Copies of this chain bind each other. A is one copy, B any other.
Amino acid sequence: MARTQGSHSDITGPRVRDAALSLFARHGYAAVSMRQIAGAVGVQAGALYNYTPDKQTLLYELMKAHMDELLAARGGEPWPGDPMAALEAFTRFHIRFHARRPEAVFISYMELRNLSPENFAVIEGLRKTYETQLQDILQRGVAEGRFAVTDARITSMALIAMLTGVNTWFRDKGRLSLPEVEEIYCDMVRKAVAV
Copies in the complex: 2
**Hey, what's the 0/1 contact readout for A166-190 against B, CB within 8 Å counting as 1?**
1011000000100001001101110
The CA of A158 and the CA of B166, in the complex, are separated in Å by: 7
Whether the Cβ atoms of A157 and B169 lie closer than 8 Å is yes
In the complex, the answer to whether B158 meets A168 with C-beta atoms within 8 Å is no
- CB–CB A165/B176 < 8 A: no
Chain B contacts for A168, CB-based, 8 A: 157, 161
Consensus secondary structure, chain A interface: helix
A71 close to chain B: CB less than 8 A: no
Please tell me the size bucket of the interface on A: 35 or more
Specify which of B157, B165, B191 is in contact with A158 (CB 8 Å cutoff): B165
State in angstroms the CA–CA spacing of A133 and B191 once bound together: 23
A residues bordering B, Cβ < 8 Å?
26-28, 30-31, 110, 113-114, 148, 150-151, 154-155, 157-162, 164-166, 168-169, 176, 181, 184-185, 187-189, 191-194
Beyond contacts A31-B114, A161-B161: 10 other A-B pairs, Cβ-Cβ < 8 A, are A110-B110, A148-B187, A150-B184, A157-B168, A158-B184, A158-B188, A161-B164, A161-B168, A162-B165, A191-B193
